[in-house]
Structure 1
Amino acid sequence: MTSTRTAGDGSDDGVPPLHPEQLQTYFALLEAVSLLQHHVEQQLRTEGGISYVQFQLLANLARSETPLTMTQLADGVVYSRSGLTYQAGLLEKAGLITRSSSPGDERATLVALTDAGAALFRRILPGHIEVSRLLLFNPLSDDDVRHLGDIMTRVRDHMRALPPRSAAPRKRRPRSTPDTPAQAD
């Protein structure tokens, strides 16, 4: 007996399958986002020597009037805490951001954009805009852009209504003993 199960067909586990149009839309969205992110990443590495995640961090800081906490940054860029700490360390080492203790909460770390970070952001932003325009906006009419913006805002707001990743408890690794080695991630 051969299986006719396809992606999006959750019938084996009681989950209703996606309709073909939903499945097609889902995969088209994933592919479009991946292609856009790939080209943006290339532009950022070529023009600024930074990654897409680092650009997101700089962009969030550039838009903010005040320093942000690491938690705010992690929630804003949807990135793991440990990954964000690593990326912030690279940006700090490059002199693009500073990190300091929060005077109001000793557990919080504040992150601010340096003058060099702001200058880099301003320098690479035009290329970022050009890639976005060329790949995302050029094939769309003004009406398409409005509709896409409305749709993606609703989807984003729906997703953001869920608790942020920073609110999720951290997974604890079992401690190793001489008889039981620690599990690798």
Structure 2
Amino acid sequence: MAHASDPADLPGCPDAGRSGLLPDELRAWMHLLAAAGAIEQQLHARVKEELGVSHDEFLVLCLLADQPAGLRMTRIAELLGRPKTRLTYQVACLHRYGLVARNSTCGDRRGIEVALTDKARRLMTEASPPLADAVTDAVAHLVGPQLLEALRGLLPSSPETAS
């Protein structure tokens, strides 16, 4: 079955040449954004297919997947760079689907902590391999020597990162 964006349909990464106006760090940042955009294009339809949730709801599930005790709503909003009101709606949808539990934070009656349910953990375990493949496909289409060189511009010089 064809997905909304197969790797062949994704735009290639612009040339990482040094003839432009941008310093290495900004050029690398632009390449990183292109890679992230390609991954998001791959995931949008696949997430809906595999999990039955929106891409933004999937991002919440991913954050919670590695947090056995859950996270406060304010922390999720910070990590995703989302307004709290939008996050409240997404978490309400996930709660209605039975994928997250909401609890008051101990010692702070206004604070809400969100954690994955067992149902969500099972779904994430089943859906993760094909979604990881989608990420790999998107990155494989973009990554080449030029992109790797550009991304190295984001890393501080150290013995581990020096070539």
TM-score (norm 2): 0.69
Query: How far apart are residue 31 of structure 1 and its match?
Result: 3.8
User: Deviation per CA, 1:105-159, whole angstroms, max 9, x where unpaired?
Assistant: 11200111101111111121111110111111465469x76984883x77xxxxx
Query: How far apart are residue 73 of structure 1 and its match?
Result: 1.0
d(CA) in 2 for partners of 1:20, 1:79: 31
8 Å Cα contact 1:99-1:112 kept in structure 2: yes
Pairs within 5 Å for 1:65-144: 65-137=68-140, 140=143
Letter aligned with residue 85 of structure 2: S
Change beyond 3 A, Cα 1:102–1:80: same
Change beyond 3 A, Cα 1:149–1:28: closer
8 Å Cα contact 1:53-1:77 kept in structure 2: no
Change beyond 3 A, Cα 1:146–1:88: farther
d(CA) in 2 for partners of 1:127, 1:107: 38
Size of the aligned set, in residue pairs, is 135
Q: Which runs of 4+ in 1 moved over 3 A?
A: 21-32, 137-142, 144-150
The two structures, once aligned, show a CA RMSD in angstroms of 3.1
d(CA) in 2 for partners of 1:27, 1:21: 10
Higher CA-based Rg: 1
* Structure with greater contact order relative to length (CA < 8 Å, sep ≥ 6): 2
Q: Name the SS for the 2:40 alignment partner.
A: helix
- Structure 1 gaps of 5+ residues are 1-18, 155-185
Identity %: 26
8 Å Cα contact 1:36-1:135 kept in structure 2: yes
Matched, 1:62 2:65: yes
Change beyond 3 A, Cα 1:145–1:125: farther
8 Å Cα contact 1:58-1:113 kept in structure 2: yes
d(CA) in 2 for partners of 1:146, 1:46: 35
